[in-house]
């Protein structure tokens, strides 16, 4: 098997991000191994990382995001060495119902096996992300009730 080079590794990650921007989960997932592991530092308010094991569970997670938000991401910088890519990602997310948006950068550490991604670690501004999702949750909780039938007296 030919060794993965930096240009190909970056291209694979760019293709995954491009698919994410189109909300094309299946095209994104074709770049990941079945035993893929996702790790994120911004998993919960108590500082416990969020971990997903397996492509099927990652699919479910991604679909849950796409169902409530639109998102864009692009690789700003990428360095590759010994099968591991380190990327700085520019990202934007907009919650569909509330219109709230969040933008910024985060780091990805991506481990490859052949031409597949086997592990992705994401390092976000955890406090900023938690504040965004709290704001969304709070606003959704305070939305006006559904239109009531005014014909009853």
Does residue 152 sit within a domain? no
Q: What is the pTM of this model?
A: 0.86
Does residue 147 sit within a domain? no
29 close to 55: Cβ distance less than 8 angstroms: yes
Please give the radius of gyration of the chain, using alpha carbons only, rounded to the nearest integer: 18
Written as six digits, the tokens of 126 are 């955890």
We report the CATH number of the domain holding residue 72 as 3.10.450.50
126 close to 87: Cβ distance less than 8 angstroms: no
The pLDDT tens digits of the residues spanning 62-109 come to 999 999 999 999 999 999 999 999 999 999 999 999 998 999 999 999
Mean pLDDT of the chain: 90
What is the percent of the chain with per-residue pLDDT over 90, rounded to a whole number? 71
Number of structural domains in the chain:
1
Does residue 95 sit within a domain? yes
What is the band of 151 on the pLDDT scale with cuts at 50, 70, 90?
Answer: very low
Does residue 10 sit within a domain? yes
* Count of C-beta atoms within a 10 Å radius of residue 53: 12
Does residue 149 sit within a domain? no
Largest CA distance in the chain: 77
Q: Which domain holds residue 27?
A: 6-141
Number of H helices, E strands in the chain: 4, 6
């Amino acid at each position: 098997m030919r060794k993965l080079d930096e240009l190909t590794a970056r291209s694979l990650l760019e293709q995954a991000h491009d698919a994410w921007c189109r909300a094309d989960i299946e095209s994104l997932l074709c770049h990941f191994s079945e035993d893929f592991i996702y790790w994120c530092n911004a998993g919960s308010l108590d500082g416990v990382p969020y971990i997903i094991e397996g492509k099927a569970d990652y699919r479910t997670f991604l679909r849950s995001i796409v169902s409530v938000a639109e998102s864009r991401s692009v690789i700003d910088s990428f360095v590759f060495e010994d099968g591991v890519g380190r990327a700085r990602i520019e990202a934007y997310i907009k919650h569909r119902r509330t219109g709230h948006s969040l933008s910024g950068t985060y780091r990805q550490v991506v481990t490859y096996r052949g031409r597949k991604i086997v592990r992705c670690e994401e390092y976000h501004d955890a406090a900023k992300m938690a504040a965004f999702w709290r704001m969304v949750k709070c606003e959704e909780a305070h939305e006006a009730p559904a239109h009531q039938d005014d014909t009853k007296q």
